[in-house]
Each structure stands twice: as structure tokens, then as C-alpha cells.
Amino acid sequence: MASQKSDTAMSPKITGELLRLLRQVMRSCKYFSEPIHAYIVPSGDAHQSEYIAPCDCRREFICGFNGSAGTAIITEQHAAMWTDGRYFLQASQQMDNNWALMKMGLKETPSQEDWLISVLPENSKVGVDPWIIAADQWKNMSKALTSAGHSLVAVQDNLIDVVWTDRPERPSTQLRTLGLEYTGISWQDKITTLRGKMTERKISWFVATALDEIAWLFNLRGADINYNPVFFAYAIVGMNSIRLFVDLKRLSDPVVRDHLQLDSPSRPELSVQTFPYESVYTELQAICAALGPKDKVWICDKASCALTQVVPKAHRTPIPYTPLCLSKAVKNATEIKGMKMAHIKDAVALCELFAWLEKEIPNGNVTEISAADKAEELRSQQKDFVGLSFPTISSVGPNGAIIHYRPLPETNRTLTVNEVYLIDSGAQYIDGTTDVTRTVHFGTPSAFEKECFTYVLKGHIAVSAAIFPNGTKGHLLDSFARATLWESGLDYLHGTGHGVGCFLNVHEGPCGISYKTFADEPLEAGMIVSDEPGYYEDGSFGIRIENVVLVVPAKPKYNYRNRGSLTFEPLTLVPIQVKMMNTELLTQKEKDWVNGYHRRCREVIGAELERQGKMEALQWLVRETQPVV
Amino acid sequence: MASQKSDTAMSPKITGELLRLLRQVMRSCKYFSEPIHAYIVPSGDAHQSEYIAPCDCRREFICGFNGSAGTAIITEQHAAMWTDGRYFLQASQQMDNNWALMKMGLKETPSQEDWLISVLPENSKVGVDPWIIAADQWKNMSKALTSAGHSLVAVQDNLIDVVWTDRPERPSTQLRTLGLEYTGISWQDKITTLRGKMTERKISWFVATALDEIAWLFNLRGADINYNPVFFAYAIVGMNSIRLFVDLKRLSDPVVRDHLQLDSPSRPELSVQTFPYESVYTELQAICAALGPKDKVWICDKASCALTQVVPKAHRTPIPYTPLCLSKAVKNATEIKGMKMAHIKDAVALCELFAWLEKEIPNGNVTEISAADKAEELRSQQKDFVGLSFPTISSVGPNGAIIHYRPLPETNRTLTVNEVYLIDSGAQYIDGTTDVTRTVHFGTPSAFEKECFTYVLKGHIAVSAAIFPNGTKGHLLDSFARATLWESGLDYLHGTGHGVGCFLNVHEGPCGISYKTFADEPLEAGMIVSDEPGYYEDGSFGIRIENVVLVVPAKPKYNYRNRGSLTFEPLTLVPIQVKMMNTELLTQKEKDWVNGYHRRCREVIGAELERQGKMEALQWLVRETQPVV
């Protein structure tokens, strides 16, 4: 999946009364010692999650806009919301005229800082909830405001929550324990490895704030956030102690207690002390009060300002990626086996879907929504299915050109034999996470559609088949996916790939394949990323070809400076529609790649379809994997 | 040229007495109110120039090591010098045992900060000349030292200069004025454009410190630094005034006075006020003392700490690249015409050289040095020749694998029919700057040499023929040059290209083609860069194929979002040796590129050779440009 999508209700939210209440609270001095002249409402939650729970959708609550990116700022006189080009239309439809839409990326649009400075009276106080602003964002905003004579102040109570009377509860779903057969490494061994890295860097404490890192570390999963099997928690690991901060009700389950050895720890240094979720602040304060002069604390750059500032600057060692993020990215043999199994099951469901679509579409009653529902139904029949890994993008014709499209009743199109169909979907299985995009035509594609599809395919192959030295960063491969499109004057405005978790978030750091980043970590054998170039013809069609691929060692002819080489092995094994290809544009090497890939789809998925007795899907697979010449 | 080279005397400098004197000065309190416990000697000059004048070679003076990169630090007990992998051998040969060589990039090597903290007594003063340390370097070093209880102090008199009794004078060569026929734009119009950009960003003053930017702005050239036609100066431009700081003796020349309209300025706001070079500090202080509360001053991140700190922080607008750097990078029609002409003359000289080498080598008396001398002699016969643009890299066999090699009497090899010969050379002509590398064999190359050459050629073509959208940054093209090498497990450890000045520095920002940078500016039509992939087989041979190329608009089939496309046009027109190619490894498209390139060499350079009556070189050119099939 190329970027985050969200539900999109298209009528504006009426916000006049809400804003009146909020401004009253800002003026009241009840939550801060002085009146607040402006209040900033960022997108995220206290863990800087990409997907957030309903109780954290504060920016949506106050302005109505529910896209994945956007910051609202409310002053006594004004209310403005900044978002990027993906969301200009949606935001303008969802916000009423109390709100000014600030179109980021346009020359005439002021930055939040410049806008604040232009509208505020002298010596203003700008408030923000320090839990939902990252430490680095706080720093930049504070600097700009201070230099203009204002100040950024941390308001401990969230002012949106004050006026949000029917705010949902923070979810506290049942925890799921994962055994060694899924994780490959016990949480105890993960703690020991973490402590080894801490010793190496002379670090006394590590503060974990990212939800997927905490889930990975303890071999636990939750369902607190849609599509992401995580749970709200913090963790602080020292050389002799482990503190886990989580709603304590969740720990009454004997399976969880046993998994964490809460009642009978094997060794004292592996004993997990549990605390309420909210007490992370005071506990971290207590830890910091007892720090020796040389003690250092690891905390990620992207952690909340509130928690970061608890650690005195002299003791703080900020890191762009935590050691957990790096360890989690390199999958072990058990996780790789699980990811492969998950992708086989996922491919079975998709082969069934395409066989079914082919049969049903001529009847004229398959829509974007019903096709997405069918895909979910078929996936849910597979073993260890947990849920989707993101909202399915099921898009016909012009809807396919909207990169973050999600079908809604008012936009829902019917699948026909006349338009290109793009489906980007994935699931969570207990053994792994999937994410796959296929673009197909059920009739006869136009020459231009085929031409564009073939350029995208050439880009997909160029990345997938690339051989590159150990230590290469993913962003250096991004242009390979674009070279052929560029040659014809075409391009796509998203990255080529993102890291994928193992029964975790479908988007994860610290590696990826994108021109946008430079601070990504080098690719290593065992990392898993997506390879998903595309082409989008506005108002007409969208094309994307996405596989999840595993980084594996390669053995080319030479081995310069003994550095070793890497390449990719596709985990996704779903045929790429030959009908959409202009095979004349493919080189022999590219045809060989397609045929090799399809042979493997037929072998691996064919065997599984046979085992599951899905004969129609098997016939479809066999037909779709005929070699191209 | 891929990286900077320097003279290399290989016996150690005896430094015991010098260090004793320096330590005496450090202790004396004569140049700073307290004793200095450590003194840092960076590589650069006050303008952060890549090449420096003899009077600025302070690090070389104190330790003996004369590579292009290295920092010396002297304490009461220790003396240590940090340099990178290119120079480990050279530095160990040039420094005596008073010095510890700090090998940067090795795990066990401490950073300068960490080393200082480990060796200094508590509360130490670390001195540095604030003129030769850049503002950002000062900031980092100061922060680290302060956090360990020490302090970094600015010592206004350079302490090396105090003990350097026979230090050369700062050069003050004659200035050369360039008319519109070379520059295309008068200095007055350049000032007006600069002021337009200042108005746009609400900037009151701009401080120019880079020597090539000042030379470009005033359409003046000097010869103060070898290979770089620049002169020591500063400039400060306001909305109504222009201050030029330069050795005033240079301005007695009536041609220069007339060029700058010193005696009769056309308009008051274009009147140039001249000041002694050294008075930039006090003048900038005076300007800053008179700043209004909203006045902002533009100064580059890379300017010296001394000058940067004159501007109060609230008034300082630091920029990674100055507006002059950006304007200078986009060559105008006159400059492009001049660069083309310079490359034609340069190609004539190289065709003559190769024809001559072919004839002379069998006699066994051509060496790396004599071949380089011959190349210079032939270039010097061309119109408007000024000098070389960098020291010629002329290298045979294993010497070719040393990327920054420069032939010396003790390393000088004879050219034979048995070894690969690599020559990377260039010149300054009044109309332009050249930089070209060719790798040739005068006998029969081995299959492996041909294989590697062909991979490098494929990379060179992949960049040169690439089509990419307007706004693409050069670093996104770097992998194109490596893809084929990577496929065989090979690589080269330098960037693919650098910006090239027009009768200015052969290395210039802000664009280039390298995996190492991310902050490069987008490529634009009119920019000029090198395209120079290579392969180096240690102990055996080196291969590099380098053209200087011009960014030009491309017209592919489509035009996505009306962004427009770009590609490269080679300015260098010297045949690439077909004998070194394994043509079986080339695609038809690549063969077409080679044949098209050679056709153009034959047409353009052939005509000029004929015009100049160089018939032997012409015959050589005709033979070397036969089409490959």
C-alpha cells in the first residue's frame, strides 16, 4: 500500500459551537496559569502512531477533516488547518467555513509558525498538548515563536478532550501471546540483546514509546488500533529491571501472566514490573532523579515532547531509530517462514477473488465495495486470519488514479469489462502481514493502458531483480523503479516501497525505498519491504504493481572488497496480468523474470490451491501463468 | 576529476622543535588571556576553499602531512592528526613520531571531541582560529567540549603563524576583468538580480565569503590559488551599497578601476566601495551595529565562525547555499557557448596527445610525468589557455587504482603496450573550464579489463542518456551509473559527478551526482556536471570514463503534470576507446549511443583539427570513431 487512507464522509462538520467552547476553555486559565492565545492540535497520538484510535482523533473532532495528515490551529479569531496535496479536496469538503484550509506545498501558503506570528498579538502564549507533539517538532516550533516574542507552552490537559463530551474510551483489548513458533526469539532473549546494545553504547536506560516496538519486544499483540495489532503501552528497560506500563486489567489473563512470568520470574533481572499506563511519567521522573552523573538514557527523536523532557538534557541520548526498530526490521528464520506462509494463504484468497470476479463481472453487480468485501471474506477463510492490515483500496477506472482512494457508497463504481481495476489489499495473519496490489482488466485494455502498465512492470522488475552491495540504503534503488517511466516523461508521486512488519504494522521503519528519505538504514538480508511503483492518469485510470519482497544474499560473479551483495525474493506470489502487458516493450531478461515469477506462483500457490481443493482458482492460476514469449 | 589530489613528498617532516615552540606560545598568555591546553589546526582557509594557497597550508606546516583533508590537534603532551582512508599511507610517511595518526572511519578511532575529552585535564581551554573553522563545525565542537566541562575558545591570532617564521605572503596576483562576451551578464545586472532575491526574502544584507562566488559576481578572475582562478576577497551587498574587501594595491590597475566603475559609478546604488581585505570584520561589525530590529543578514552555513558570529543571532539567516552559488550554477547562453568552445580546444589537445602517445610509447621513453607534461604543453597551445584546472592524474597499471594519484619521480611508471593508462586532466581557458578522463590501452587489454571497462561505460551511458523530470536532484541518478557494476558484484567508492564552473573552480556546488549528498539542489537546464563512473582493481589497474555534460531540456513522448523533462548533452568530445570495449556486453541502444557520440566527436573536433592543420591527430580521430557493430 502506497500511503495511508481513511474513511471519508463528504459533508462538512458544523463546528461553530465547538470552537466557541474551546476558545472559552483557552481563555479560562483553568488548565494553564494564563490565557492561551492559540492552540495547536496535531494529528497523532502519544506514541506518534501512523494509524490512531478513535479516542485520539482530536483534529478530526475539532474540524471534521479525517485524513491521515493535518494540523489544526485555533486562535481567538481564526481557525486554520494545514494538510498536503492528497487531501485538499477532501478537507475542503469536510470542514465548514469556520475553517481556513492551508494548502501545504503551495508557495503562497504560510508555515504554521509564520501564520501564527502574523495573526497573534504581541507576547502571545501558544498552547499544545506535549504528549502528542514529538520532541523535534516542539523544538522547531518553540524556537520560531520565541524569536518572534511569543512562547510555546505545554498544556498538560488536552483542551480538545475538555470540550469532547462523548469522547470514546481508550481501547483496552485482550492481549494475545505469541510463542516461539511465531516469534523465533523469546522476549527474554530480546531483552538480553537490547541490554547488550545498551552496554556497548554505555546506556543505562532505554525508553520504548512506539507501540509496535513494545508489542515486538514482549511477543504480545493487541487490537487497540484498527489494522495494527498493537496495544497502548510504554516500556522502560534498565540493566536490571523491566518496567511495562499498560492498563493493568489486561494482565489478569493467566495466559498473559504466564507468558510474562509475572508470578514467577526465572531470573531477577528478567522480572517484569507492571505499572498503570498513565504512570510512565512519574516513574520516568523517579528513574531520572536517581541517575548517576554518567548515566545515559536512550529515547527516540520521535517520542513525545512530554516524555523526552523528563530526561535531563545531559543524560539524554536521542536516536533516530531505536535498537528495537532495527532488530525488528531484520526478520529471523521463524518470522520469514511465517511471512512466507501468510503470503501463500493470501495468494490463495486473491486467486479465488480474481477467478470469482471474472465470472461475476459480466453480470454487472460487482462494485468496488462488494469486491473488497469478497476479498476480505476469502482471506478470512484462511488459517490464522486476524483481520485486514489496512482498509482495502478497491478502485475502478478514474477512482484508481486517486492514490489513497477508499470506496464509499457515494463514490462506489461497478466493475466492468471496460475499465481498469486496481486492488491494493492485505491482511494480518498470526504468522505474518501481507500487502499486495494488482491491476487488471476484465475486457480489452487500451494501448495506452498497456503501455503504462508495462513501464510500471519494468520498474517493478528493475527493483525486484536489482543486485546491490551490502550496506546499500533503499533510497538508492528508488530511481530504478522510475527510469523507464521517466524515459517517456511519466512518473508517480509516491515512494516505491516501505518496510513491512511480521504480524505487526504494514508500514514500519527504518528501511524503505523512497526518494524522500535519506536517513533510512542500510538494507540487510532478512529485511522485508514492498516494491510498488505505479502510474496514475488523472480522471482515467490508476496502475500499481506491488509485491512484498525479502532481502536475500546474492552471489554475482565478483565480490568487490568482500562486501557481499544482496537482492530481493518476492514473498507475494500472485500472477501479474499478462493481458495488461505490451510484451514488445519487454526485454528478454524481463520476460524471463515474468516467466520465472509465474512458474513459482504456479508451483507454490498451485500446490496450496490443490491442497485446499480450490479447483476453479487453480484453473485461473494455471491459465494466468502461461509463459510470455 | 573524482577527488582532490596534492603533491606528495614521502619523507617525514621533523617537528619536535616546532611543537616545542608552539606549546610555548600556547602556554604564554600572549595571544589569549589564559593558557591554551589544546590547539586545533583545521585544513582550510578563511573562505573554506577546497584548494588553498601556500600561506594557508598550516596543518601541513605543523605536521608535514599535505593531503587535502586532515585536522591536527596539539596538546601539552600529545599531537594527533585525523585523516580519512585515502591518506593513511601518505600521512604515516609524511609525519614523524611526535604525531599520532588518527584513522577516521575505523571503529577504534576516537572522534576529535572524544579524544580531547579523554586526554585533557579538567576545565581545559581548547583554542582554534575562528577564521578557519566553519560556523557549523565550531558549534558542534563547542557543544561537545562544554558538556564535558571544557571550553572552545577563539584565538584571534593564528598560533601556527606565530611560529611559522618563513610563512609565504598571501598571494595578490593581478586581477583579470571579463567582458560580456565571456560572462553574458554584467556584474551590475548580477547585483540587481541578487538584490531582487534579497527583497523577495526580506533580507537587508548579504555577506559573500566564497572566493568563486565573489569572482563570479564581479566578473573578475585572479590567480591566488593554484588551478582556481580566484582572488582573496570578501563582499557585502546591501540594497544601496556594495562593499568589496580586497588588497587595495590590486585596484590601481586602470582596467580594473574602469571595469568596476570605481571612479565614475553609473548609478549611486551600483557604486562599489573598496576596503582592505582585513577590514571585513570591522565593517561588518559597523553594519550590524546599525541594523534595524527587522533587518536580516544572509550568510552561508559554511562561512567562518569569526565572520558569522559578528552577525547577532536574531539577525542571522543562515543558508546552505547562497543565491550566488545557485545563480552561478545555471550557466547562461554566453557561458554555455564558451564552455563548448573550451571543450573543443581541449579535445583537440587530447586527440593530439593520444596520437603522439601511440607513436612514442613503443620507444619506451614516455612516463606518467612526461605524458602529463605533454598534455599540458598541447593544451597551452590552444587559444585563451590560462592553466590547468587541477593537477593531472596520469597513471599506468596499478597506479591507476589509486583514485587521487598524482605521478611523482619515485612512483613514476613508463607507459607500455602491456598496461592500462588512465589520464584525468583539465584546463582553464578564458572561455571555460574542462575536466576529462579517458582510459586506454596501447596493446591488447585483457578480457577482465575489457569487461570492467564495458560495465563502467554502460554506467556512464546510463547517466548521460537518462531522461528525468525537471526538479530531480542529481543524487537520484547516481545508482544508474552503478547498476551494471553492482550486477557483477563490482562498485567504485566515489561519487559519479560534481558541478563544474565556467572559467572557475572545477568542483563547484550546489549540484552533483553522488550517493553521499541529499542536500544538493535540483538539476536545471544550464547546469554543468561531470559524469565519471569508474572501477579500480587494487594493485592492477584503474578505469574511469569522464565527460563534462550540460543539463538540457528533453522532449519525451508524454509530459506528466506539465513538469517537463531533462537530459544531458556531453560537452567533452573525445573518443572513448573502442578497443577497451567488449561490444557483446552492449545493448543495441548503448551501441547507438557510442556511435552517435563518436559521430559528433568526428564532426565537431574533426573540423577543428582540420582548421588547425593537425592532420595526424585528425587521422587518429577518424580511426578511433569508426562505428561499433
- Residue A535 in this model has a pLDDT that exceeds 80: yes
A214 neighbors A233 (Cβ within 8 angstroms): yes
In whole angstroms, what is the distance from residue A165 CA to residue A163 CA? Answer: 6
Residues of A within 8 A of B556 (CB-CB) are 486-489
Residues of A within 8 A of B515 (CB-CB) are 476
pLDDT tens column, A336-349: 999 999 999 999 99
Please judge whether B558 and A489 are an interchain contact, meaning their C-beta atoms are less than 8 angstroms apart: yes
pLDDT at B3: 43
Q: At what angle do helices A615-624 and A588-612 cross, to 10 degrees?
A: 170
Please judge whether A467 and B476 are an interchain contact, meaning their C-beta atoms are less than 8 angstroms apart: no
Q: What is the ipTM of this complex?
A: 0.93
pLDDT tens column, B348-396: 999 999 999 999 999 999 999 999 999 999 999 999 999 999 999 999 9
Tell me which of A80-89, B92-101, B615-624 is least confident: A80-89
How close B465 comes to chain A (CA, Å)? 9
pLDDT tens column, B234-273: 999 999 999 999 999 999 999 999 999 999 988 999 999 9
* Residues in CB range of A271: below 8 A, 6 or more apart: A241, A242, A261, A265
- Residue B7 in this model has a pLDDT that exceeds 60: no
- Residue B4 in this model has a pLDDT that exceeds 60: no
How close B517 comes to chain A (CA, Å)? 9
A540 neighbors A401 (Cβ within 8 angstroms): yes
Q: Is some CB atom of chain B closer than 8 A to the CB atom of A490?
A: yes
CB atoms within 10 A of CB A74: 27
- Residue B66 in this model has a pLDDT that exceeds 60: yes
Pairing of strands B71-75, B79-83: antiparallel
pLDDT at B316: 92
Residue whose cell numbers read 538480553? A192
CA distances (Å), A608 to each of A14, A619, B463, in order? 53, 13, 45
pLDDT tens column, B338-349: 999 999 999 999
A490: nearest CA partner in chain B: B560
pLDDT tens column, A414-430: 999 999 999 999 999 99
pLDDT at A4: 40
In whole angstroms, what is the distance from residue A394 CA to residue A578 CA? Answer: 20
Query: Rounded mean pLDDT of chain A?
Result: 95
Query: Rounded mean pLDDT of chain B?
Result: 95
Residue A102 C-alpha cell reads as 492551508
Q: Report residue B5's pLDDT band, with 50, 70 and 90 as the boundaries.
A: very low
The maximal CA–CA distance of chain A, rounded, in angstroms, is 75
- Residue A6 in this model has a pLDDT that exceeds 50: no
Beta bridge partners of A499: A508, A529
In whole angstroms, what is the distance from residue A444 CA to residue A544 CA? Answer: 18
pTM of the model: 0.94
Domain boundary assignment for chain A = 15-163, 176-328, 330-625
Tell me which of A409-418, A449-458, B4-13, B290-299 is least confident: B4-13
Name the residue among A487, A558, A561 with its Cβ closest to that of B488: A558
- Residue A616 in this model has a pLDDT that exceeds 90: yes
CB atoms within 10 A of CB A313: 9
Q: Which of A16, A35, A14 is nearest to A26 (CA)?
A: A35
In whole angstroms, what is the distance from residue B614 CA to residue B502 CA? Answer: 27
CB atoms within 10 A of CB A190: 19
Please judge whether B491 and A560 are an interchain contact, meaning their C-beta atoms are less than 8 angstroms apart: yes
How close B590 comes to chain A (CA, Å)? 14
Q: Report residue B2's pLDDT band, with 50, 70 and 90 as the boundaries.
A: low
Residues of A within 8 A of B486 (CB-CB) are 466-469, 556, 565
Residue A150 C-alpha cell reads as 511569543
* DSSP string over B556-608: -S--GGG--EEEEEE----PPPGGG--GGGS-HHHHHHHHHHHHHHHHHHHHH
B337 neighbors B550 (Cβ within 8 angstroms): no
- Residue A173 in this model has a pLDDT that exceeds 50: yes
Please judge whether B558 and A490 are an interchain contact, meaning their C-beta atoms are less than 8 angstroms apart: yes
B544 neighbors B439 (Cβ within 8 angstroms): yes
pLDDT at B558: 98
Residue A482 C-alpha cell reads as 522510475
How close A558 comes to chain B (CA, Å)? 5
pLDDT tens column, A290-316: 999 989 999 998 899 999 999 999 899
Q: DSSP secondary-structure letter at B13?
A: B
Q: Cα dihedral sign for B246, B252, B256, B259?
A: positive
B469: nearest CA partner in chain A: A486
Q: Which of B445, B441, B479, B439 is nearest to B459 (CA)?
A: B479
Q: Report residue B9's pLDDT band, with 50, 70 and 90 as the boundaries.
A: low
Percent of chain A's residues with pLDDT above 90: 91
Please judge whether B468 and A486 are an interchain contact, meaning their C-beta atoms are less than 8 angstroms apart: yes
Q: Is some CB atom of chain A closer than 8 A to the CB atom of B289?
A: no
- Residue A7 in this model has a pLDDT that exceeds 70: no
Beta bridge partners of A134: A304
Q: Is some CB atom of chain A closer than 8 A to the CB atom of B563?
A: yes
In whole angstroms, what is the distance from residue A152 CA to residue A79 CA? Answer: 18
Residue A434: what are its φ and ψ, rounded to 5°?
Answer: -120, 165
- Residue B598 in this model has a pLDDT that exceeds 50: yes
B365 neighbors B391 (Cβ within 8 angstroms): no
Q: Which of A34, A584, A609 is nearest to A347 (CA)?
A: A609
- Residue B546 in this model has a pLDDT that exceeds 80: yes
Residue whose cell numbers read 495488461? A580
In whole angstroms, what is the distance from residue A394 CA to residue A371 CA? Answer: 7
Please judge whether A560 and B489 are an interchain contact, meaning their C-beta atoms are less than 8 angstroms apart: yes
Please judge whether B489 and A559 are an interchain contact, meaning their C-beta atoms are less than 8 angstroms apart: yes
Q: Is some CB atom of chain B closer than 8 A to the CB atom of A477?
A: yes
How close A610 comes to chain B (CA, Å)? 37
Architecture (CATH level 2) of domain B176-328: 3-Layer(aba) Sandwich (3.40)
Q: Is some CB atom of chain A closer than 8 A to the CB atom of B144?
A: no
Name the residue among B147, B468, B483 with its Cβ closest to that of A314: B147
Q: Is some CB atom of chain A closer than 8 A to the CB atom of B120?
A: no
**A531: Cα separation from own chain's centroid:** 15
pLDDT at B217: 98
Percent of chain B's residues with pLDDT above 90: 91
A510 prior amide bond cis, ω within 30: yes
Side chain identity at residue B276, one-letter code: P
Mean pLDDT of the A225-242 span: 97
Mean pLDDT of the B67-92 span: 92
Q: Is some CB atom of chain A closer than 8 A to the CB atom of B107?
A: no
In whole angstroms, what is the distance from residue B137 CA to residue A189 CA? Answer: 41
Q: Report residue A171's pLDDT band, with 50, 70 and 90 as the boundaries.
A: very high
Q: Is some CB atom of chain A closer than 8 A to the CB atom of B488?
A: yes
Tell me which of A530-539, B56-65, B317-326 is least confident: B317-326
Q: Cα dihedral sign for A30, A31, A35, A38?
A: negative
CA Rg value for chain B: 25
CB atoms within 10 A of CB A271: 15
H or E element, residue B510: strand B508-513
Class of domain B15-163: alpha beta
- Residue B6 in this model has a pLDDT that exceeds 50: no
CB atoms within 10 A of CB B233: 26
pLDDT at A301: 86
Architecture (CATH level 2) of domain B330-625: Alpha-Beta Complex (3.90)
How close B542 comes to chain A (CA, Å)? 14
Side chain identity at residue A44, one-letter code: G
Number of CB pairs, chain A paired with chain B, less than 8 A apart: 69
Helix, strand and coil percent figures for chain B, each rounded to 5: 40, 20, 40
pLDDT at B404: 83
pLDDT at A2: 53
Same CATH fold, A176-328 and A15-163? yes
Q: Report residue A9's pLDDT band, with 50, 70 and 90 as the boundaries.
A: low
Q: Which of B25, B90, B26 is nearest to B63 (CA)?
A: B90
Q: Is some CB atom of chain A closer than 8 A to the CB atom of B314?
A: yes
pLDDT at B403: 85
Percent of chain B's residues with pLDDT above 70: 98
* DSSP string over A559-627: -GGG--EEEEEE----PPPGGG--GGGS-HHHHHHHHHHHHHHHHHHHHHHHHHT-HHHHHHHHHHTPP
Q: At what angle do helices A333-360 and A588-612 cross, to 10 degrees?
A: 90
